[in-house]
Copies of this chain bind each other. A is one copy, B any other.
């Protein structure tokens, strides 16, 4: 199966590597910039182009792994007739691909990717969707070659999971970032929180986060909360706002008996 990878960012890089390892032939990489396209093409030992019009139509599969906001625009340059095209986005409707081909689908790997960090694709949940049964079967087969966790979901379900993932990943990371800024300002290393952060994740996943909530908010420890809000006056105003909103949320929604 001949694959064209449209995109040369984090998802394109890791998905390209995983497909190559599974025996797929990535025959062309398209990237907006010479540097990133060339770089990924070298990793995958293949050709590259920065001219979207040079993406020819005789390949078997076109994987659109560009940033969400660019999917629509890139699609408008592609006329693939009945060649299969898929995107890899959690928050984008499948139907946006309709204009590029009559055969389209989605393969969304639920993970946060960085180019520099190797990742084990095996355990990454992959959510697939196809415009018809034949496409679903094809995508399922492909997904099974790179991961053990395949789910078939429609665009609306995928958007819900993407929303939950934004909380669990991007928002959690910003909370870490606040903790880091508080520590740094006082000359402590963020890494003193390592075992705490790891245990918090493990505990939530082994139980239910709402049931294992601890700390001043759930204990309704008004004095400590007041002290924290005082301390936070020295930092960006958003820290206090986030502290207040999450404390309120814990007190009304998290409950050991729920």
A residues within 8 Å of B by Cβ? 10, 67-69, 91, 110-112, 114, 117, 119, 123-125, 149, 151, 157, 159-161, 163-183, 186, 188, 190-201, 203-206, 208-210, 212-219, 221, 223-224, 227-228, 231-232, 236, 238-239, 241-243, 245-246, 248-250, 252-254
**B228 near A174 (CB under 8 angstroms)?**
no
- A15 CA to B230 CA in the complex, in Å? 30
A191→B231 CA distance, assembly (Å): 35
CB–CB B214/A190 < 8 A: no
Given contacts A164-B193, A170-B214, contact A112 B203 (CB under 8 A): yes
CB < 8 Å neighbour of A163 from B125, B205, B217, B228: B228
Q: Which applies to chain A's interface (DSSP): helix, strand, loop or mixed?
A: helix
**Closest B residue to A125 using CB positions:** B192
Looking at A170, A191, A210, A221, the one whose CB has the most chain B CB atoms below 10 A away is: A170
C-alpha gap A212/B115 in the complex (Å): 11
Q: Are A182 and B201 in contact (CB under 8 A)?
A: no
Contact of A232 with B200 in the complex, beta carbons under 8 Å: no
State which of B221, B238, B243 has its C-beta within 8 Å of the C-beta of A248: B238
Complex: A173 Cα to B215 Cα, angstroms: 10
Contacts of A215 in B (CB 8 A): 166, 169-170
CB distance from A205 to the nearest CB of B (A): 5
- Cα-based distance from A71 to B178 in the complex (angstroms): 29
In the bound assembly, the distance between CA atoms of A195 and B194 in angstroms comes to 17
Q: How far is the CB of A151 from chain B (nearest CB, A)?
A: 7
In the complex, are the beta carbons of B210 and A238 less than 8 A apart?
no
* B residues less than 8 Å from A197 (CB atoms): 168-169, 172, 201, 204-205
CB proximity of A258 to chain B, nearest CB, Å: 10
CA distance A241 to B244 in the complex (A): 11
Q: Which of A151, A200, A216: most chain B Cβ within 10 A?
A: A200
Knowing A190-B208, A197-B205, A205-B191, say if A164 contacts B179 (CB, 8 Å).
yes
With A164-B179, A168-B193, A197-B169 as known contacts, state yes or no: A174 contacts B114, CB within 8 Å.
no
